[in-house]
Amino acid sequence: MLLQRLELEHPTQASRVALNLYEQPPAPNPPGIDTPSEDGGFLVTEERLGVTKVVSSLGLFDAREAAQERFRRRLEELKLQRYRDVLPAA
């Protein structure tokens, strides 16, 4: 379930990024798959939006606070690169 999404754009480049925070409920893994998602948690992703969409995982966290901190840190990193919030369409 998506808990938070923030889209950013660069002022001088054709570059758009979306940060996402998901809550992943506990669920059994499919047979033969051993991943840390079985216990659930909070997933932070970064999407590079363009002709194609590239999704990168920034981490899967046990605690919501840790995931929110990672989300905030990545947001600050992007703002240092001059990214800014996407303005809503008029």
Task: State pTM to two decimals.
Answer: 0.84
Return the domain boundaries, the chain. Answer: 2-85
Q: How far apart are CA 52 and CA 25, in angstroms?
A: 28
* pLDDT tops 70 at residue 89: no
Using one digit for the tens of pLDDT, what is the confidence trace for 30-83? 677 666 567 789 999 999 988 889 999 999 999 999 999 999 999 999 999 999
29 vs 1 pLDDT, higher one: 1
Least confident of 8-12, 16-20, 25-29, 74-78: 25-29
Q: Average of pLDDT values for 4-19?
A: 93
H or E element, residue 45: strand 41-49
Residues 8, 20: Cα–Cα separation, whole Å = 12
Residue 33: what pLDDT? Answer: 66
Do 27 and 38 meet the contact criterion of CB atoms below 8 Å apart?
yes
